[in-house]
Structure 1
């Protein structure tokens, strides 16, 4: 590819994007894609913005665009990592206030997009009341939709999720009058999977992370045990459709072994 086709617009870029899309076999497209959007603050800083909010808002806009790419390609489930439980404790208060507002706006916008179904995954009780309400409203508004299933990981932590799943299993077992000995003998990975926030959904086939960082950051720890990973150098707001299509092409070329 020459420099012109690497740009995010222009006829050569559009031609290359269409060619990538045409070469993808629908049978090899992942069913569930998880996205870790990273680099929003760095993007804002590099462009000289005084507040990280500019980066977070640009990142949210990019996630709406990203979901459209996924929907158009036939992907059925997308999980977006928007705010970790650690972020709620560690982020600067002014930045966190802006980020919470931006996430609430995104959830509301997605609940009116196409026929997508929105689901919050994370601990509701640690969220500010207004954000919890907006996420619950988006989930209720889209509950009957049959289009793209969008998981919004907000106030989320993978280790917390596993703890919550085990607690749910214990509570359910206790309510039925079972003993701990019985539970110990019956506990299986499948049982834990059913009690995760994403219970009933397929595990992610592909996990994408932007900004060149190569770590999980406590995202979908259980579910991604056999996922494929793809790391993009572009900062979150700079992600292009060709970057996404290259990730899908790379995924399609891999030989998935599922631990075998």
Structure 2
């Protein structure tokens, strides 16, 4: 699919991706699951660079969920090592493309080495302004919402705010993503049709796009196809077509 078909004036401001299918991709090739994760990093680079080139302002990738900690210990350890090595390798790509790295989730749950590398790259790219790349790490939307409710409840209890002050904006300001706009386009690879506890509040009005392509096989062309599909939809936000026109 030709990139020229995409209307640069109607890009999704925020794209979020559930990168699924690394394990199945490796299994199809008779390899260990980590082989799929390693090749998945190549798809990350392709997608990040393509989004930046198009002019997408925000890209959020579901890299490691709170549920992923339940995976075999060896796989989790290998994934954490891969995270550290990938951050080191991609520093050059982020700098070259003027991309700022951001992270959301329970980052304190990450191993110290991974946490240090993550914060180092975020610090070094903090002034970059072309696009914000957010990694969701040790992330779970229900945990995010629970934490927000607890923080708001504490403020009401301590008379910092009144319960009448609680509105969508206040809730949004207590989420990990308080500095990001709502998601416009959510993409999930591998043929699964689930949200998997990802950005439940933030995708309230998002367009959902599912592809059977396994994540390591996800190319620029697949990204362009998803964006073009998004651009051919009518986003009504509760209104009628007649009202929009």
Runs of 4+ in 1 over 6 A off after TM superposition: none
Among candidates 132, 149, 158, match of residue 132 of structure 2: 149
For 1:108 and 1:197, locate their aligned partners in 2 and report how far apart those are by CA, in whole Å.
24
For 2:178 and 2:87, locate their aligned partners in 1 and report how far apart those are by CA, in whole Å.
21
SS in 2 for 1:35: strand
Q: What are structure 2's unaligned runs of at least 5 residues? A: 240-245
For 2:39 and 2:85, locate their aligned partners in 1 and report how far apart those are by CA, in whole Å.
13
Note closer, same or farther for the CA distance 1:126–1:66 as it changes in structure 2 (3 Å cut). same
- Residue in 1 aligned with 2:213? 234
1:24 aligns with 2:11: no
For 1:173 and 1:122, locate their aligned partners in 2 and report how far apart those are by CA, in whole Å.
24
- Residue in 2 aligned with 1:3? none
Q: What are structure 1's unaligned runs of at least 5 residues? A: 1-16
Answer 1 or 2: higher relative contact order, Cα 8 Å, separation at least 6. 2
- Residue in 1 aligned with 2:82? 102
State the 1:167 CA deviation.
2.7
Q: Is the 8 A contact 1:111 1:139 kept in 2?
A: no
Q: Is the 8 A contact 2:46 2:219 kept in 1?
A: no
Alignment of 1:20-99 (within 5 A): 20-49=2-31, 51-88=32-69, 90-99=70-79
1:109-166 CA-partner distances (Å, limit 9, x unpaired) = 3333221100110002222111111211121111111121000000000011112222
1:139 aligns with 2:139: no
Among candidates 110, 120, 124, match of residue 127 of structure 1: 110
State the 1:42 CA deviation.
0.3
- Residue in 1 aligned with 2:243? none
For 1:104 and 1:235, locate their aligned partners in 2 and report how far apart those are by CA, in whole Å.
23
Q: Is the 8 A contact 2:188 2:211 kept in 1?
A: yes
For 1:259 and 1:105, locate their aligned partners in 2 and report how far apart those are by CA, in whole Å.
45
Quote the RMSD (CA, aligned, Å): 1.5
State the 1:173 CA deviation.
5.1
For 2:229 and 2:20, locate their aligned partners in 1 and report how far apart those are by CA, in whole Å.
20
- Residue in 1 aligned with 2:242? none
Q: Is the 8 A contact 1:59 1:236 kept in 2?
A: yes
Q: Is the 8 A contact 1:29 1:75 kept in 2?
A: yes
Report the TM-score, using the length of structure 1 for normalisation: 0.86
Report the TM-score, using the length of structure 2 for normalisation: 0.91
Equivalenced residues, count: 236
